[in-house]
């Protein structure tokens, strides 16, 4: 479960870096959407860890 949270955090950081720095250019809007989707998934994964709920199996 912690591996999933770390994975989502890394993907969110990559998506954010591409969307917010202008590297992606035309796809910055899509990268921002993906960033916020993965940010919500990270929050759910961390909440599941804290509450002891297995959300992804």
Instruction: Please report, in tens digits, the pLDDT of each residue of the chain (57 residues total).
Output: 788 888 888 888 888 877 676 665 667 778 788 889 999 988 988 888 898 887 666
Give the pTM: 0.50
pLDDT of residue 26: 64
pLDDT of residue 33: 87
Distance CA 27, CA 15 (A): 10
DSSP 18-54: HHHSSSSGGGHHHHHHHHHHHHHHHHHHHHHHHHT--
């Amino acid at each position: 479960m912690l591996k999933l949270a770390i994975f989502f955090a890394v993907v969110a950081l990559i998506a954010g870096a591409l969307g917010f720095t202008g590297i992606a250019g035309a796809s910055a809007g899509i990268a921002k959407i993906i960033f916020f989707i993965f940010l919500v998934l990270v929050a759910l994964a961390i909440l599941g860890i804290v509450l002891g709920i297995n959300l992804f199996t």
